Structure formats: structure tokens, C-alpha cells
Structure 1
Amino acid sequence: MTTDVAILCCFSLCAGFIDAIVGGGGLIQTPAILFTFPQYPVATLLGTTKIPSFSGTSMAAWQYARRVEINRPLLLVTAGTAFLAAMLGASLVSYLPNHFLKPVMLVLLIAVAVYTYLKKDFGQETHTSVTPMGNTWLWGAVIGLVLGFYDGFFGPGAGSFLILAFISLMGFDFLHASAHAKVVNLATNLAAILYFGLHGHILWPVTILMAASNLTGSFFGARLAILKGNKLVRKFFLLVICGTILRFAWELFK
């Protein structure tokens, strides 16, 4: 048990580092805990990963907020709707299978990876004229509802999808998209923690140690992203998207 937890903490540290830069930490952390503790219900294992994710995301959001300009009204709308949608998504985990989402996500991720690779200037500059202010808040609510539900119900890759949405629909660059995505992700993690915690789906001794590791990785990941800027974040984005594609493809075709 001690060795298993130590290994999970190593995965959590890596997940926090990657997640702070471009999201996708769940691709590392979630499979690790599912493989390590197969005797527990899936809802319990997913609930256990939410506190490490929340702690790491909190650190990253704090780091970004100190150095990157944040659109607070937009975040209030997006994070608020994401919180409610994530609570609904988490409540359905115990009742509905999530495997039907994977083929759709696989096709979408391949398209995202190809588009990002071919369009070299994607997410490299902020284009404030992409979406009028009224539509910005509307799109913020849509992003919060769709990706908030996805994160509560399924999870892996949600951070990367949030970044993509902020770039495509809001005209943000990668750095600003990452900063805003972290705050929204914070809201979805909090909603999931509340639901899973109230229903006894968290392994507390395991999650606390994983949280400390995720927090450490997130601290260094966020600082590196802010220091190196958009080009580094774009490279990590492509790597994480490719990792997500491989992960989903393996589960679909194994």
C-alpha cells in the first residue's frame, strides 16, 4: 500500500506540472489510480483524484493571476456555469457509462491536433476583436456548461479543451487561455469534490498525499509556462493532445 501511494504521488507530481502548463494532468493521474486500486469503485477513484487536481490548479491559477491579465466578469460567468454543470456531471458518474464519449472525443482531438500543428500562429497572439462583448459572455456560459459537465462526468483532457475554447471562441493567446482555463477548472474540481465528498467517494489518506505532490508540480509548471510564454505552451498543448489521442485510441481498440 505504501509503495502504491508513493508511485501515485510521483504520477501526481508529473500531472500537476503538465496540467499547470496546458491542462491534461488527468491523463496521467486518472489512469494511474485506476490501475493501482482496481478494487475500488470508479466513482471513488475519480473522487480521490479531484482534490490533487484542485490543489494543483489552485497553485497554477494563483501564479497566473499574479502575472497575466484576467477578465474577471467573463470568468464569473464561465466558472459559475461550469460549477453547476460539473456538479450535474459528477452526479451521473455512478449511473451512466462514459465509454460512449470516447469515440467522439477521439475524432475531435485528432482534428484539434492537426489544426494546431498546421496553423503555426494559432494561439500565439491575442485577438480581442474575435468575439463582441455580449457574445463573449454567452460563449463563456456555453463553454462552462459543456466542458463543466464533461469534466464532472468524465474529466481527462478537460483543461486542454478549455484552452482550445478560449483561443477559438474568445481570441485569446495560449498563455491567457491557460490562465482563464485554470480558474474555470478550479470551479469544476470544487463541484466534483463537494459531490464525491458528500457521497463518501474519496480515499482521504491517499488524496492528501497526492494533493501535496500535485501542488509541487503545479508550482514549477506554472512558473515555467509564464517564463517561456506562448511557444512553450503551444508545444506542450500538442504533446498533451497527442497523448490524449493515444490514450483514447488504446482504450477503444485494445
Structure 2
Amino acid sequence: MLLICALMAGLIDSVIGGGGMIQVPALFAFVPGFPAATLMSVNKMASIVGTTGSALQYTRANRSPWKLVVLASLAAFCASVGGAYLLTQIPSQWLRAALPFFLLALLIFNLQSNAGLIHAPKHQHRKQSAIASIGASVIGFYDGFLGPGAGAFYKLLFTRGLGFDFLRAAAPSKFLNVASNLGALCVFLYLGFVDWRLGILLAVANFIGGQIGSRFAIKHGNTFIRKAFFITVGFLILKTFYDAFLQ
């Protein structure tokens, strides 16, 4: 069951992001005896492999702005290290409580526009790099500190913030997600929270799901990805609201 969940997480994450909504609850449900930090490191390990695989698929379909990706990825990595370390020091209940309302505002904001359907970059290179790096820092910190839906946030950064369409935003947003996952994983590994066997097993399943999902998304284009985005964010709103107020 855990491998099936990891495969589905990789598939969903490759299309729009948010695979952690499936993979993290599955880990806590099926491996209850493990420390929470170990389960989070296993999730990051699997996600890194699956997300990298799907990012390479999207790169073959559309050329990526590599300079922008490298700068923003460095920002995401460093911020994620800070977020993951802070997670070990303070409670995160206040962020959990605010998250569903923040997501709802973003969903309404995007429903009112055609963001992601047309590729029309909004800014010149320096301003584009600055916006991407600042946005990646904020999302990367969140990914290290809490994490659900970070992939969808990265896609929002490129579609709404920079004017990319969904297909051209796919690879850059996934490379940023890999960077922030890697930053958080480094912290967990340094602190000794790791299970390599479980991480490798889930990584294989996540990779397979990512390959299936990315090819499907490339075939069906921006309209399909936009619909999947709204469904994913809607589910994420319900999930984060339940986690914050009803558990």
C-alpha cells in the first residue's frame, strides 16, 4: 500500500505538485513506529528522485531558463535549510492554522485570471531573477518548515508571478522543489533521521509515477494542467483545514 501511495504521489506531483499530500499521510499511517523526522526525510528522499525524473521529462519538451533556475534553486535550498532547522526548534501550529485561508485566497485569485494558459513573461531578466529568487526563498523556507503543496506554490510563482504558461513553468518549478527538498533532507540526515531502505523503495515508486504523470501532462497541455491545478489546490485547502482544526 505504501508503494502504491508513493506511485500515485509521484504521478500527481509531476502534473501539478502536491504529491506530499498523499505520501506523507501514507507514511504516518503505514509506518507508525518510525520517528516523525525520519518519515519526513523518507518523504523528501523519494520526492527528490521522482521530481527530478519528471523535471527532466519537461525539460525535453520545453527549454528551461537555466540561469534563472540555478539562482532561484540556490535561494530555495538555503531557505529550506533554515525552515527545516526552525521546525526542530519551535511548534508550527500557527502556520498550519493560517495555511488553508492563504491557499483559498490564492485559488480565488487565480480563478479570476487566465494565468498559466498563455506564455507571456512579464519582466526583464534582472527583475525576473529577483522575483524568482525572493519567491523561491519564501516557498523554500515553507517547504523545509512544513511542506504540503510546495510544488503547487512554485508553479504559482512562475505562472502568476513571472507570466509563464503551465508547461514552461513545469521544469523550473520542479527543479526549485528538488532544491528545497534537498535542503531539508540535508538537515534531517545531519541530525540522524534517515532510513535508506524505505527511502529507496519509495523513490523507485515515486519515480515511476512521475514518469507516467509528466508524459500525460505534456501530451494534454496547459488546459489539462490548469484544471488539475485547481483540483489539487482545492483538495489541499480541505486537507490543511482538516489538519489544522479538525484532527
TM-score, L = length of structure 1: 0.93
**Residue 53 (1) aligns with residue 47 (2):** yes
Distance 1:253 1:105 in 2: 11
Q: What SS does structure 1 have at the residue aligned with 2:93?
A: coil
Q: Counterpart of 2:245 in structure 1: which amino acid?
A: F
Deviation string 1:79-135 (CA, Å, 9 cap, x unpaired) is 01111111111222222222211222211211222233343x22100112x223221
> Structure 1 residue runs of 4+, over 4 Å off?
none
Q: Give RMSD over aligned pairs.
A: 1.3
Quote how far apart the aligned CAs of 1:249 are: 1.2
The partner residue of 1:27 within 10, 21, 24 is 21
The alignment-based identity, stated in percent, is 35
Distance 2:18 2:157 in 1: 14
**Residue 37 (1) aligns with residue 56 (2):** no
Cross-structure match for 2:152: 160
CA contact (8 A) 2:97 2:245 kept: no
Cross-structure match for 2:213: 221
Cross-structure match for 1:193: 185
Cross-structure match for 2:116: 123
Cross-structure match for 2:204: 212
TM-score, L = length of structure 2: 0.95
CA contact (8 A) 1:13 1:215 kept: yes
Q: What SS does structure 1 have at the residue aligned with 2:53?
A: helix
**Residue 112 (1) aligns with residue 106 (2):** yes
Q: Counterpart of 1:107 in structure 2: which amino acid?
A: F
Gaps of 5+ in 1: 1-6
CA contact (8 A) 1:131 1:170 kept: yes
Cross-structure match for 2:241: 249
Q: Counterpart of 1:124 in structure 2: which amino acid?
A: L
Gaps of 5+ in 2: none
